[in-house]
Amino acid sequence: MDVLGLPVPDAGPLFLAALSVHVLAGLTCVTCGAVAALSRKGGPRHLRFGRIYVWGLVVLFATLTIMSMIRWRENAHLFAVGSFTVAAALIGYLNRRRHQAVHIAGMGLSYIGLLTGFYVDNGANLPLWERLPYWSYWLLPGAIGLPLIVRAVRRRRATS
């Protein structure tokens, strides 16, 4: 079955239900993570969207776990990416007050993980992305995101 040009495995109703929630949580994370990252640090918008992002990642990981249990052979690598992503976010979130550099790095790495998982799973079916080699789905989010994280950490340290 295809949905908006993306193939959806026929793995039963539980898988489809988890996938539906997973897609909504993923869209929430992409949106809220971007808003939090682009908002004034410590301001109400940053705090609100950052919390929504973290809770969205928890939902995303829960649905990923369900889908991975159903299709382990096909999803084990995505489960590894998701585990890294949620761990990085939790480390970043728990260090939001005491260690700003750890907060920035954790949240930034979780966003890179979020995008990496999406592109690794869907890149071959996306316009323009389908022209790229498979390895680029793994590397491009980090190649773009890591310099931004380093820049943000340096700027934060310069103002502290």
Residue 30 has pLDDT above 90, yes or no: yes
Residue 96 has pLDDT above 80, yes or no: yes
SS3 for 9?
coil
Residue 160 has pLDDT above 80, yes or no: no
DSSP line for 102-121: HHHHHHHHHHHHHHHHHHHH
Residue 51 has pLDDT above 70, yes or no: yes
Give the count of beta carbons closer than 10 Å to the beta carbon of residue 20: 13
Rounded mean pLDDT of 25-39?
95
Q: What is the pLDDT of residues 117-156, one digit of tens each?
A: 999 998 888 888 889 999 999 999 999 999 999 999 998 8
Cβ atoms of residues 78 and 116 within 8 Å: no
Going from N- to C-terminal start, the domains of the chain cover 2-159
Residue 34 has pLDDT above 70, yes or no: yes
Q: Which token pair is 131?
A: 């022209």
Residue 92 has pLDDT above 80, yes or no: yes
